Chains A and B, each alone.
Chain A
Amino acid sequence: MLSLIRAVIGRDLRLAMRRQADIVAAMFFFIIVVSLFPLGVGPEPDQLRRLAPGVLWVAALLATMLSLPRLFADDHRDGTLEQLALVPQPLALIVLGKVIAHWLVAGLPLVLLAPVLGIQFDLAGDALAVLTLSLLIGTPALSGIGAIGAALTLGVRGGGVLLSLLVLPLYIPVLIFGAGAVDATVTGLGAQAHLSLLGALALGGVFFAPWPTAAALRVALE
């Protein structure tokens, strides 16, 4: 079973590496959205410091969502997905592999970019560290929950907009605890509680989400 997951991850990563432009585009989307906020609300450092956690997290949500349609769409188009659904192992395991690969390609770059962007918002060192840590813990949940939406909207008219309608409300808890962790550090409350809850969400999301995703894929393949 582990070898299956590893094979799926390896395959998806290899495919993503052949198409690096997609990854880079999502990263620059993240950077641009974050950079728009100071232009919109003004450059006062105090205000920016207060806004930073929310802005970075919302941008991370949007950037993750941007890359979600590709999670299954390409495999669906060329028929690979149907072959994968015929594999004797549970489809959920394959989905898990794809979710992990998606996180490595779409989530991890955001985590690595976040400290740099946080500096733009004049965040202090400990807040930067917590921001990065919260993104590191939280983005797997985004990939997991997002996979459900991606599977549900597979091959559906206006899939991209629909995907955001379905997935963004489900992202709210992750956003709350992720941005809350940074907020709590800034105000001196300590981020422990938020990060623990975020970890719980991520574990729950990555563990449970593949099952409804697999069910939704089977519906889409009918």
Chain B
Amino acid sequence: MSNKLINWFRYASPQTFYPLAGRMIPWFWGLAAIFGVAGLGIGFLLAPTDAQQGEGYRIIFLHVPASWMSMFIYLVMAFWAATGLAFNTRLSGMMASALAPTGALFAFLSLWTGALWGKPMWGTWWVWDARLTSELILLFLYIGFIALQAAIDDPRRADKAGAILALVGVVNIPIIYFSVKWWNTLHQGASVSLTKAPSMAAMMLWGMLLCALACWMYSIAVALMRVRVIMLERERHTDWVRALLAGRE
């Protein structure tokens, strides 16, 4: 028996994961703050002004990380959903439902900042471009997941139903993306193109990557905080939660 195997299963139980998550949260907040300050510092102070877009492009430091995270979180959510279905672990479903609001938030942020960016640069808040449309559909998928989980009272059933939906969604995302892309190119070309200038100043890239890391760390920290609350709520009948709450008072 390898030690590692035991450890993995050990932290699959809410009782042992709860304190571990509590210990990890400050670290991820700290990392998020460091990366955020560094990324925004580079983005606002060091990165050069864009030759074509002026200062307005600087919203990229929020917009691109938000878009990346919105897609990445859906994959992570689907991973936890699949794990939950395969191994029937309680924690996996909790992780999936803890991640969903953050993913939806990032999808919304990505659309919102995109609109704010699009207005001065393209002269329009919204175009039916393939990427914008598929991001919007991703937001719909998140909303559907959250709504389904909210509508089912029994948490175990909500987890499983949500997991099936997340997996169906993850299979569909490439289909949706390509169909929207082809739909867009089969219509007359979009009046504005999303393709950016191929070369990006190194400072801009660094700022963006650091901001992406900050968003990543923030997502982990928030998801852990949320999963802790979910654990307490769902396990409130168990001894360890009672003991924990009694010790706190």
Q: Which residues of A contact B (CB under 8 A)?
A: 148, 152-153, 156-159, 162, 165-166, 168-170, 172-173, 176-177, 180, 184, 189, 197, 201, 212, 215-216, 219-220, 222
Residues on the A chain within 8 Å of B175, using CB: 173, 201
B80-109 vs A, Cβ < 8 Å mask (1 yes, 0 no) = 000001000000000000000000000000
Residues on the A chain within 8 Å of B140, using CB: 165, 168-169
B207-240 vs A, Cβ < 8 Å mask (1 yes, 0 no) = 0000000000000000000000000000000000
Residues on the A chain within 8 Å of B141, using CB: 169
Cβ of B160 within 8 Å of any chain A Cβ, yes or no, is yes
Instruction: Find B147's partner among A162, A173, A176, A201 (CB 8 Å cutoff).
Output: A162
Cβ of B27 within 8 Å of any chain A Cβ, yes or no, is no
Those of B142-190 within 8 Å (CB) of chain A = 143-144, 147-148, 151-153, 156-157, 160-161, 164-165, 167-169, 172, 175-176, 179-180, 182-183, 186
Those of B101-141 within 8 Å (CB) of chain A = 137, 140-141
Residues on the B chain within 8 Å of A216, using CB: 161, 164
Residues A172 and B179 in contact in the complex (CB < 8 Å), given A153-B148, A184-B186: yes
Closest CB-CB distance, B156 to chain A, in whole Å?
A: 8
Q: Tell me whether A162 and B151 are in contact (CB under 8 A).
A: yes
Q: Tell me whether A169 and B144 are in contact (CB under 8 A).
A: yes
Q: Which 9 A-B pairs have the closest CB atoms?
A: A173-B179, A169-B140, A219-B160, A176-B183, A166-B144, A165-B144, A156-B151, A176-B179, A216-B164
Chain B interface residue count, Cβ-Cβ cutoff 8 angstroms: 28
Counting residue pairs across A and B whose Cβ atoms lie within 8 Å, the total is 75
Instruction: Find A165's partner among B143, B153, B164, B168 (CB 8 Å cutoff).
Output: B143
Q: Tell me whether B172 and A170 are in contact (CB under 8 A).
A: yes
Closest partner residue, chain B, to A164 (CB atom)? B144
Q: Tell me whether A148 and B168 are in contact (CB under 8 A).
A: yes
Closest CB-CB distance, A215 to chain B, in whole Å?
A: 6
Q: Tell me whether A180 and B168 are in contact (CB under 8 A).
A: no
Residues A170 and B168 in contact in the complex (CB < 8 Å), given A157-B151, A162-B151, A177-B179: yes
Q: Tell me whether B148 and A152 are in contact (CB under 8 A).
A: yes
Q: Which of A168, A170, A189 has the most CB of B within 10 A?
A: A170
A180 CA to B179 CA, complexed, in Å: 10
Q: Tell me whether A212 and B176 are in contact (CB under 8 A).
A: no
Residues on the A chain within 8 Å of B165, using CB: 148, 152, 166
Instruction: Find B168's partner among A189, A197, A212, A220 (CB 8 Å cutoff).
Output: A212
14 more A-B residue pairs beyond the given contacts A162-B144, A170-B168, with a C-beta to C-beta distance below 8 A: A152-B148, A153-B148, A153-B151, A158-B151, A166-B144, A169-B140, A170-B169, A172-B137, A173-B175, A176-B179, A189-B186, A197-B179, A197-B182, A222-B156
Residues on the A chain within 8 Å of B167, using CB: 212
